[in-house]
Structure 1
């Protein structure tokens, strides 16, 4: 559709345009004059109209973080972009533009009403994050595939859909197909969907819907299982022994071990490999179980520490509050006496007494804070010492179990070497060369070749085991260091804020007496 302003130079969404738009839509008369003088904070704007402005590119809207309604219709916009910051947007009008692809909406999870009427869109896509979508207007576009409408099944809150004017509407089965597959709709192309149409659509597509719903249920179950595993993995990572509750480490050893994989094809090796694998995985399970138990113990220690810290802060604050309340009562009584006294000497005496009490309050409350600092410092030291001991025990025990994994690998390596020497003797005597695969036969040309192959395989396995041990030691040590740094940083910040708070409060008390006009009291 051509527009009268198509020949006009495309406009840029700059600060001048935004300021003008906000002022146009803001308060009028005296309120508008005041707002213009004081300036309008874009963060406070909830609704914005940028229609009929010949805008080509959406830009510079990042300041409108609280915006809930945005009109960008009747422009020449070609691409949906620049909307990521508008996370509170609920209503968006992009009708009468030149948009070809639905995109750039990933951050608009609160969007309820989306209008893309009269554009050049041919496919429904890229709207997965719009879970709150209630109204969708896509009339007068180029959507032409009936099956593409199934994409809208994911929007369970969608009640109003307009696709009129799209090629897909010319399909004889369009209406019944849409009603059947989008059963949550109430209005389709400006018309209320009646019960008779629903029943007819359901009957017509009952079998296909059943299959689709079954597939969707399987997909949902798979997604839930994937999320469950991801959540489980995150919890396992905190124990530092993730992936050790199965054959992962064993499989990893052979994944990058070409020589070991060749040797696994030796006749009679399967029983030895099976025994090796079972024992290896069993020890991995022991590491995992121990790591999980120790994680629970550490978590309990951290929880007890936090409770102890909170209790100490609460008790300290309670003591300080009691003294402050007592002073407030004293202050009210003293100010009342000052108001009723006309004797300058008595007034001066009471002011001096007040300042002494303020100083005493400062000493008391600040003393409580210093007392708390010492108490918390001792608690933190004890906690760090306990946690370090726990982690040292954990690492030491895990290293002991991992050393048994190395022992298993060493025993397996010796058995493998022994078996290969026997096979080499037979190969030299031409007793079994025909039984060996070509890749494996190439290793048995002489003793040095087979020994080197077995050694290379053994080295790969030991490196994998060593790397896993190093990872556990490094991550556990890093956790303690990071945790203690954050605790010390938080306590330092708390103390600094508390000292400032006490200082400001005492300064306020002194200002109160300084601003108390005794001359007015005398004249009264």
Structure 2
């Protein structure tokens, strides 16, 4: 990450430089050793100095690599070769910035610092821009909350002059920032809402997306939409359908009515999905509550066994050292060993009972979630079957009108061509229905796949965590009881 700049070795900020700087400026001796062994959590660092005082941090040309220092409050980049203040967007908590003796030449670059709402001290002395005629007024105007510039107080008189000189420019930039902030907040709100929809597996169901996608790839839609009486049939049909249902109309005025109804019905399914998500969330929370309670109860019982043993352990070991009768000592040693084994067996038994209990809890939870998912999908399938029957009713009713010559207006040629015979009409209706049905099936497949993937991932995580907990617990039991045995052997060795 080191490159040559003219005759001077040029450096850029990378992870190693940050690590070296934080270690050098961090705690010393034992505390520093522990900190180094545990590793550096960059998003917890509050202060960073990359300046001339340590020549290994000198000759930095570009600000970069600071993205992870999200809690940084104090940043010093003094005496480097930086020409632009940039790439610090994540440093929201920045209060002190020293970038003096660098190569920053554009006064407008100061505007970049407006994003740091907590910035109260700024040092730019020794940069080319500090020689600009309006240097102090420009900064005082654009950074109105700044308290110190180049380690000197910005008094109210200077700030007043600055505001008067740059009033219109400041008002314009404030207006633009407000618009940008509103757009950003709207985008964040939209993304948060979409994420909530994704978690409920119902994204794109609260609008016309499904409707649009069904008709966009339906070659029969325009033709079938011109069938006489479709509007009335659609209105009747729509009274019965509940969710992601479809029809055969596509005339403009019919489409508008149908789209409105379909969107309303999709929204019903969307809201149902959100409600289901809350039920799943409640089920998950109840499961973890039960899991934690079972573990907590077992830990308390196990801890009581250990406490009962520990209550007399030291005295028993001490008594062994004062027993002079070999037979009596052997009896006490054997009894102590048996008690250790009993403690181990009881602890293991509690753990095995807990494992069985947790396995049953996990199975019950998995069955409950599976039933919830299955019920939701079965409802969708029932609605789809109901839809298919209604579509056939619409097709037959329209066909009867044509056969009885009850069509009031002349049919377009492409529509009339459908009525050569019943099979032609039904084939067209079936083709349109199949196209729409495929869209519904794809959406359902997507829903089923994602819900099942979520459920499997959750169960797998729960099982993995339980295996880890179980192994850790068994290891602790083994280590503790082995420690007790070692203590006993040590006492016997010294006594012997």
Alignment of structure 1 residues 256-405 onto 2, 5 Å? 269-402=251-384
Partners in 1 of 2:107 and 2:192 — Cα distance? 37
Q: Which residue of 1 aligns with 2:50?
A: 93
Q: Is the 8 A contact 1:256 1:460 kept in 2?
A: yes
User: 1:360-396 CA deviation, whole Å, 9 max, x = no partner?
Assistant: 2222222222222222222222222222222211221
Counterpart-to-counterpart distance in 1, 2:175 and 2:27: 55
Structure 2 unaligned residues grouped into runs of 5+ = 228-248
SS of the residue aligned with 2:97? strand
Q: How far did 1:245 drift?
A: 2.1
Q: Deviations over 1:78-113 (max 9, x none)?
A: xxxxxxx79737223256966554333322324321
**Map 1:31-110 → 2, pairs under 5 A:** 44=35, 65-66=39-40, 88=45, 90-93=47-50, 101-110=62-71
Where does 1:91-170 land on structure 2 (aligned, <5 Å)? 91-93=48-50, 101-111=62-72, 112-119=74-81, 121=83, 123-170=84-131
Aligned mates of 1:402, 1:211 — CA distance in 2:
56
Q: Secondary structure at the match of 1:91?
A: strand
Residues 217 and 413 from structure 1, CA distance in 2 versus in 1: closer, same or farther, beyond 3 angstroms? farther
Q: Distance in 1 between matches of 2:21 and 2:124?
A: 31
Task: Find the aligned partners of 2:439 and 2:34 in 1 and give their Cα distance.
Answer: 54
Match of 1:480 among 446, 451, 455: 455
- Decide whether the 8 Å contact of 1:409 with 1:462 is kept in 2: no
| CA distance, structure 2, for counterparts of residue 390 and residue 305 of structure 1 | 15
Secondary structure of residue in 2 paired with 1:161: strand
| Residues in 1 aligned to 2:148 and 2:12: alpha-carbon distance in whole angstroms | 37
Q: Is 1:514 the equivalent of 2:489?
A: yes
Task: Tell me by how many angstroms 1:182 deviates.
Answer: 0.2
**Deviation of 1:129 (Å):** 1.2
Matches within 5 A, 1:423-442: none
Q: Which runs of 5+ in 1 are unaligned?
A: 46-62, 68-84, 429-442
* C-alpha distance 64-159 of structure 1, shift in aligned 2 (>3 A): farther
Any idea what the Cα deviations from partners look like across 1:181-217, whole Å, max 9, x if unmatched?
1012122234321121012222333344334334323
Verify the 8 A CA contact 1:100 1:119 in the aligned structure 2. Answer: yes
Aligned to 1:173: 134
Per the alignment, residue 72 of structure 1 pairs with: none
Alignment correspondent of 2:243 = none
1:503 aligns with 2:478: yes
For residues 167 and 401 of structure 1, do their structure 2 counterparts lie closer, same or farther at Cα, with a shift above 3 Å needed? farther
Out of 152, 159, 180, the position equivalent to 1:191 is 152
Q: Separation in 1 of the partners of 2:12 and 2:112?
A: 34
| Alpha-carbon distance in 2 for matches of 1:247, 1:21 | 55
Write the mapping of 1:202-221 to structure 2, written as runs, cut at 5 A. 202-221=163-182
In structure 2, relative to structure 1, the CA distance for the partners of 1:458 and 1:165 (3 Å cut) is farther
Tell me, what secondary structure is at the counterpart of 1:392?
Answer: helix
Query: Contact (CA 8 Å) 1:260, 1:454: kept in 2 or not?
Result: no
163, 183, 201: which is aligned to 1:240?
201
Aligned counterpart, 2:240: none
| Deviation for aligned residue 1:454 | 9.0
Partners of 1:98 and 1:325 in 2: CA distance: 62
Q: CA deviation at 1:329?
A: 2.1
Worse-superposed segment, 108-117 or 348-357: 108-117
1:463 is paired with a residue of what secondary structure?
Answer: helix
Please give the alpha-carbon distance, in whole angstroms, between the structure 2 residues aligned to 1:412 and 1:174.
78
Given the two structures, how large is their TM-score scaled by the length of structure 1?
Answer: 0.72
Q: Which moved more, 1:508-517 or 1:93-102?
A: 93-102
Give the Cα separation in 2 of the matches to 1:204 and 1:11: 39
Q: SS state of the match for residue 286, structure 1?
A: helix
State how far apart, in whole Å, the 1-side matches of 2:21 and 2:173 are: 48
Offset at 1:242? 2.2
Displacement after TM superposition at 1:399 (Å): 3.0
Give the conservation status (yes or no) of the 8 Å contact 2:12–2:60.
Answer: no
Relative distance call for 1:150 and 1:381 in structure 2 (3 A) is same
| 1:179 to partner: Cα distance | 0.3
Structure with the larger RCO, 1 or 2 (CA within 8 Å, 6+ apart): 2
Q: Distance in 2 between matches of 1:259 and 1:447?
A: 11
- Structure 2 Cα separation of the partners of residues 131 and 21 of structure 1: 21
Could you say if the C-alpha distance between residues 248 and 151 of structure 1 is closer, same or farther in structure 2, counting changes exceeding 3 Å?
Answer: same
Give the drift of 1:261: 8.3
What are the within-5 Å matches in structure 2 for residues 4-15 of structure 1? none
Partner SS, residue 242 of structure 1: coil
Q: In the comparison of the two structures, how many residue pairs are matched?
A: 455
**1:21–1:465 Cα change, 3 Å:** closer
Task: Decide whether the 8 Å contact of 1:405 with 1:465 is kept in 2.
Answer: no
Q: What is the alpha-carbon root mean square deviation over aligned residues?
A: 4.6
